[in-house]
Amino acid sequence: VDALQRRLEKAWSESQNPIMVLRGCQSYFRQLLIVARTAAGGVPMAQAIKSLRPPVHFRLQDRMVSQLGGWSTEGLFDAVNRLQDAELAIKSGGSDDMTQAGQALLGICLRRKVARR
């Protein structure tokens, strides 16, 4: 949660668009979901990561493996849906964009913390 807060503060201080932040997260969670589904089909995790396009930088591959350890396929799918819902809510207007994006990301962060227990 602290790391999320620091990264969001940095993004907002750099005037990052909340929708672009959410889309970056969506892209990453989709990659995690693809790897999880591929690995569930019997392909080794490292090979599943190497099959991603665009390829994951070699220095980030181990981090991706460790992050996958805390998620189920269903949890990853739910995270992608939650991020898409947040993007739609921002585009619909009516609330602060940064708050909406932050709440969606915090919700995903907290779900992972609960799932790891």
Tell me the average pLDDT of the chain: 91
- Token readout for 25 is 């997260």
Q: Which residue has the tokens 């990853």?
A: 76
What is the per-residue pLDDT for 111? 84
Does residue 117 carry a pLDDT above 70? no
Position 95 confidence tier, pLDDT thresholds 50, 70, 90: confident
What is the per-residue pLDDT for 116? 56
Please tell me the pTM assigned to this model. Answer: 0.88
| Per-residue buried b or exposed e for 88-103, using 16+ beta carbons within 10 Å of the residue's own CB | ebbeeeeeebbebbbe
C-alpha distances out from residue 38 to 16, 73, 100, 112, Å: 33, 10, 32, 21
User: Domain span at residue 60?
Assistant: 2-116
CATH number for the domain including 82? 1.20.272.10
Does residue 53 carry a pLDDT above 60? yes
Rounded to 5°, the CA angle 93-97-98 comes to: 170
The domain total for the chain is: 1
